[in-house]
Amino acid sequence: MTAQRTLATARRVLRQLSHDPRTIALMLGVPLALITLLYWAFHATPQTFDHIGPALLGIFPLIVMFLVTSIATLRERTSGTLERLLSMPLRKADLILGYALAFGLLAIAQAALATGLAVGLLHLSLAGSTWLLLLVAVLDSLLGTALGLFVSAFAASEFQAVQFMPAVIFPQLLLCGLFVPRGAMPTALSYASDVLPMSYAVDAMTRVSRETSVTGDLTRDLAIIAGSALLVLGLGSATLRRRTP
Amino acid sequence: MTWGAPARTIHRVMNSDVPAVRAAGLTVARGARTVLKGLDFTVPRGQVTGLLGPSGCGKSTLMRAVVGAQAKVTGDLDVLGRPAGHPALRSRVGYVTQAPSVYVDLTVRQNLDYFASVLQPGTARADRRSTVQRVLAEVDLTSRADNLVSRLSGGQRSRASLAVALLGTPELLVLDEPTVGLDPVLRRDLWNLFHRLAADRGTTLLVSSHVMDEAERCDRLLLLRDGQLLADDTPEALRARTRTQTVEDAFLHLVDQAAHRQEATR
């Protein structure tokens, strides 16, 4: 019963998106354009592209899914459909998993395209397996979905929801090791970097691109990403209230 | 949750003497304001009960309390023999909010199809399709079924929202101002539908409105003003008691009476 409600919700979310081809095009196309731009900008120093490329393949799915989920759930809250669904025999987990499933599928498509472009056409050096890279991208997107769902509870309007992106994502971007290696940061920031989930998203991508085998460190990174996604999903589900003031 | 038809009948017969809604000392606070002030009333089964009163008097809050969406409810509030908001009631109570709550970026049919699979997962696709077809006809939206909700007019959107509530054949339907902004013909059709649901399926309907002429169409009335009940009666009894011609006059009479009483006690 529950699985059917989850599947129905995922199908509904995808149907909503299917009526909005421009959003789909932006979600899938913008990362491709940015990766190409990056490749072009670092044309003279391909080793820099090899350094930043994998990190971006981890960051894109996280950011895009964060944005889409926070807006989609905010809409669900403000349009009254959430209140209606919660007055029906639907478990909160059915709803959240439905969203996670729909956006997870989209994330796979996005990650497959981005990876295909970076590795296939732009010769990004990848030591590990492409499948592993895809797995990391999907976990990153689930983390983005979880964060988006959570912050949407604190946004009363689309204006506020969009502002949560610099508030929640940018600090993680600055401290994830992309700009300054995590070990070279001031101690306080290095600790902050250790507790922010995006750091592990970027670390995992970097490891997959450099190491041929699955190391213990990679497994740990993946577990941390999945664990944070589940934790934040749990927190997000606590913000879906059946009774509101 | 799928209900076998015989089980449902037995269930109804067993509970038929329990009122659909029973409130005693129902009080609701929203922020610092007390919106409902110790209400006592019952809503009998299988009838159309109108909840009438000026806007801002607490109608929506009362309805939200009945469906279990309202926080900070004190006093007793039983719905179909269980405390309001009980998980077992979620498949037995249908609720339509004042603002249409459907997905604007889906077609009417896609909306109904989704809510139908939430209400009755595991139904065969063909059955679901015929249920959707039935409710589309009931709210007269068959010709717009494959239009996106965002392309519909305000009245059509509220009918799409109403259609969702008709999907699961609920025992209690709570409708918050379902006829606002509709033309007279459609309004009449909907009221006929409400009475048909009550007569044919034994559905209990609690319908709010701030338009007094709709009161005449109800079997029973709850008149609410400023969070207090002015009357809980049939329209005929109300007119007879206040010696007035219309429910609107009766309402005004009761408001004046309450004001007098307040002055006398001052």
Nearest to residue A233, comparing CAs of A122, A47, A39, A95? A95
Q: Which two tokens stand for residue B35?
A: 């919106």
A245 in any annotated domain: no
Predicted interface score ipTM higher than 0.90: no
Q: Do A89 and B99 touch (CB under 8 A)?
A: no
Helix (H) or strand (E) holding B33: strand B33-43
DSSP type of residue B142:
G
* Best of A68, A75, A87 to mutate (most B CBs within 10 Å, chain B): A87
Q: Count, in order, helices (H) and strands (E) of chain A.
A: 11, 0
Q: Determine phi and psi for A71, rounding to 5 degrees.
A: -70, -45
Delimiting residues of CATH 3.40.50.300 domain(s) in chain B? 41-92+171-266
CB burial readout A201-240, b (16+ within 10 A) else e = bbbbbbbbbeeeeeeeebeebbebbeebbeebbeebbeeb
pLDDT at B266: 67
Domain B41-92+171-266 classification at class level: alpha beta
First-to-last alpha carbon distance for chain A, in angstroms, is 30
Q: Which residue of chain B is at minimal alpha-carbon distance from A82?
A: B101
Question: Is pLDDT at B6 greater than 60 in this prediction?
Answer: no
pLDDT at B199: 95
A244 in any annotated domain: no
From chain B, the residues in CB contact with A97 under 8 A are none
Burial of residue A125, with CB atoms counted within 10 A of its CB: 0-12 exposed, 13-18 middle, 19 or more buried? middle
* Best of A84, A86, A92, A99 to mutate (most B CBs within 10 Å, chain B): A84
Question: Is pLDDT at A138 greater than 50 in this prediction?
Answer: yes
A64 in any annotated domain: yes
Which sign, positive or negative, has the C-alpha torsion B201, B202, B203, B205? positive
Q: How many structural domains comprise chain A? A: 1
A243 in any annotated domain: no
Q: Do A88 and B68 touch (CB under 8 A)?
A: no
Instruction: Report which residue type is found at A240.
Output: L
Q: Is B97 helix (H, G, I), strand (E, B) or coil?
A: coil
A113 in any annotated domain: yes
> Measured between CB atoms, does B6 come within 8 Å of chain A?
no
Q: Is B208 helix (H, G, I), strand (E, B) or coil?
A: strand
Q: Do B105 and A19 touch (CB under 8 A)?
A: yes
Q: Do A8 and B69 touch (CB under 8 A)?
A: no
pLDDT at B16: 62
Of all residues in chain A, what percent carry a pLDDT higher than 70?
A: 100
Q: Which residue of chain A is at minimal alpha-carbon distance from B34?
A: A245
pLDDT at B264: 78
pLDDT at A134: 86
From chain B, the residues in CB contact with A89 under 8 A are 1, 87, 90-91, 118-119
The residue segments making up the domain with residue A177 are 2-238
> Measured between CB atoms, does B3 come within 8 Å of chain A?
no
